[in-house]
Amino acid sequence: MLNDDKFKALMIKGAVEETSQYFTDETMRKIERGFAAKKYQQPLIKHSVKLAFIIAFAVVLSALLAISIFIQPSHLPFNLYITIPPIRIEDFYNVVYFIIIFWLVMFLNHKIANYN
């Protein structure tokens, strides 16, 4: 029922829009400009520097894990301790309210951006 060849011929005859004369050239120019820009773009941080950071991080992490598992604190030649000041209950509530309001505003902003 839908395979109407005469109708298809009619559509091809009258309904196909033709692009302007230099359409292909202009499109290829846009693409080549973008392609050239991407080709010569240097990364912000060199790959070797990134790799060095990752390796250093892994080595330090492994060393700390090894120290904490295999060496008792009493065997260390130095004492390490951290004194945490007491947290007031009001500060605790302020932090919780801040987190709730922050995420509410983020959510609303996301919804408004989608709506727009």
Partner 1 sequence: MSDPNYLIIIKKVLTGDVNAYSLLVNTYKDLALTLAYNIVLNREDAEEIVQDAFVKAFVSLKTFKGNARFSTWFYRIVVNTSLNKRKLKKLSTITIEEHAAEEIPNDMTDAINQYNNEEQKRFIKAALDSLAEGERICLTMYYLNELSVDEINLLTGFSVSNIKVLLYRGRKHVYNKLQDILKDEMHHLI
Cβ proximity to partner 1, 20 vs 74, nearer residue: 20
Under rule CB under 8 A, residue 75 binds partner 1: no
Q: How far is the CB of 111 from partner 1 (least distance, A)?
A: 14
Under rule CB under 8 A, residue 69 binds partner 1: no
Under rule CB under 8 A, residue 35 binds partner 1: yes
- The sign of the torsion formed by the CA atoms of 99, 101, 103, 106 equals negative
Give the SS3 label for residue 4.
coil
Q: CB under 8 A: which stretch of 31-39, 50-58, 72-80, 96-104 binds partner 1?
A: 31-39
DSSP 84: P
Contact call for residues 72 and 79 (beta carbons, < 8 A): no
Q: CB under 8 A: which stretch of 16-24, 41-49, 57-65, 92-100 binds partner 1?
A: 16-24
Task: For the chain, report the end-to-end CA distance as a whole number of angstroms.
Answer: 42
Under rule CB under 8 A, residue 31 binds partner 1: yes
H/E segment holding residue 65: helix 47-70
Q: How far is the CB of 112 from partner 1 (least distance, A)?
A: 15
Residues near partner 1, by CB under 8 A? 1-2, 4, 6-20, 23-24, 26-28, 30-32, 34-35
